[in-house]
């Protein structure tokens, strides 16, 4: 399929006029008309309804324009990456981070790339797992680092497990529950529980361990995707953070936050992984991402 013909169709769809589209494309109207007709012959379908002076996309034309915009975008991305490679560059990285990986990786990754690879354009996206996966499938992101327990395996996803990190209940050092030798789960419920959205697997584990009252729908009173904000809330209030302990590593090491020992022990983990689209040619900078993520998460 000729990308120039797709470009001509998109311009015609945006202007609604052969004359205006031809002017923008620096073509004669007859040349533009021949280009659209050639595309229609290639696809063996009518793409434009010519209604007097108006030109409207057919239903198939709408589909072709939608996919055509994506194809032109990818073609531009390819040209840009090839240009950067020819100039000794590494291209760009569009990365989606889940709540836990975002708290652990975003600032260190941006700092690392700014210091070591300032020529690379890095864009980081945060948000719900479902939205991140949609953006990956629509080629708006190159890769995701998220909790694999919140992902349903699919044929189009390339999933690489990276690291498994321990989760638990964390509160500030001056919290009324700190220092208790034997702490029952029910005692936690007197205080706000702050957590990110939890997978069905973790929800089942909580219920099996502590009963129906531990289901996330009933348990969590403070709920958001930003782990750093939840950790800060636990640091400054009597709220108890439920999540990956590594996200609070600095505060735990300083003694400002404390991991609570609940009976029976939680014994839960978060399993982080790298997700890309199967069959898609990776960006030249992807090996740098893998190397950094492996090292940083292991530390």
pLDDT score, position 231? 95
Kindly compute the dihedral angle of the four CA atoms of residues 288, 290, 291, 294, in this order, to the nearest 10 degrees. Answer: 150
Contact 166, 172 (CB under 8 A): no
pLDDT score, position 197? 86
Nearest alpha carbon to residue 98 among 64, 61, 65, 131: 131
CA 13/CA 8 separation, integer angstroms: 9
pLDDT score, position 117? 87
Neighbouring-strand partners of residue 161 = 273
List pLDDT tens digits, range 167-216: 999 999 999 999 887 899 999 999 999 999 888 888 999 999 999 999 98
0.85 exceeded by pTM: no
Q: How many CB atoms lie within 10 A of CB 271?
A: 18
List pLDDT tens digits, range 45-66: 899 887 766 788 999 999 999 9
Ranges of residues in the chain whose predicted pLDDT is under 50:
none
Q: Long-range contact list for 105-114, CB < 8 A, 24+ apart? A: 105/145, 105/293, 105/296, 105/297, 108/296, 109/289, 109/292, 109/293, 109/296, 112/292, 113/288
CA 219/CA 217 separation, integer angstroms: 6
pLDDT score, position 135? 93
Which spans in the chain are helix H? Answer: 3-15, 18-25, 29-43, 59-86, 99-116, 129-137, 185-188, 200-210, 216-219, 227-236, 249-254, 286-298
Instruction: Report domain extents, the chain.
Output: 3-70, 92-163+272-298, 165-269
Question: What fold characterizes domain 165-269?
Answer: D-Maltodextrin-Binding Protein; domain 2 (3.40.190)
Domain 92-163+272-298 has CATH 3.40.190.10: yes
CA 210/CA 222 separation, integer angstroms: 19
Q: Please give the backbone phi and psi of residue 17, each rounded to the nearest 5 degrees, phi first.
A: -150, 130
Let me know if the fold of 3-70 is the same as that of 92-163+272-298: no
Architecture of 3-70 per CATH?
A: Orthogonal Bundle (1.10)
Torsion over CA: 78, 79, 82, 83 (sign): negative
């Amino acid at each position: 399929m000729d990308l120039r013909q797709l470009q001509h169709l998109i311009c015609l769809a945006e202007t609604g006029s052969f004359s205006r589209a031809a002017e923008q494309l620096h073509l004669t109207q007859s040349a533009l008309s021949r280009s659209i007709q050639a595309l229609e012959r290639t696809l063996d379908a009518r793409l434009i309804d010519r209604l007097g002076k108006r030109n409207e996309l057919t239903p198939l034309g709408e589909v072709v324009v939608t996919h055509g915009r994506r194809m032109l975008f990818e073609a531009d991305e390819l040209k840009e990456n090839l240009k950067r490679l020819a100039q000794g560059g590494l291209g760009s990285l569009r990365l989606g981070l889940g709540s836990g990986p975002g708290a652990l990786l975003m600032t260190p990754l941006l700092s690392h790339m700014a210091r070591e690879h300032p020529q690379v354009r890095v864009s980081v996206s945060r948000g719900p797992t479902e939205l991140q996966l949609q953006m990956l499938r629509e080629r708006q992101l190159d890769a995701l680092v998220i909790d694999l327990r919140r992902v349903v395996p699919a044929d189009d996803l390339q999933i690489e497990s990276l690291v498994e990190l321990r989760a638990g209940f964390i509160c500030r050092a001056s919290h009324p529950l700190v220092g208790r030798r034997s702490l029952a789960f029910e005692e936690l419920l007197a205080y706000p529980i702050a957590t990110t959205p939890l997978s069905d697997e973790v929800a089942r584990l909580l219920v099996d361990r502590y009963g129906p009252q531990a289901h996330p729908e009933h348990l969590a009173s403070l709920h958001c995707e930003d782990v750093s904000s939840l950790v800060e809330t636990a640091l400054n209030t009597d709220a108890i953070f439920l999540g990956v302990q590594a996200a609070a590593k600095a505060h735990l090491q300083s003694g400002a936050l404390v991991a609570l020992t609940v009976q029976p022990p939680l014994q839960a983990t978060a399993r982080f992984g790298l997700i890309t689209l199967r069959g898609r040619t990776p960006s030249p900078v992807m090996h740098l991402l893998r190397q950094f993520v492996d090292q940083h998460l292991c530390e």
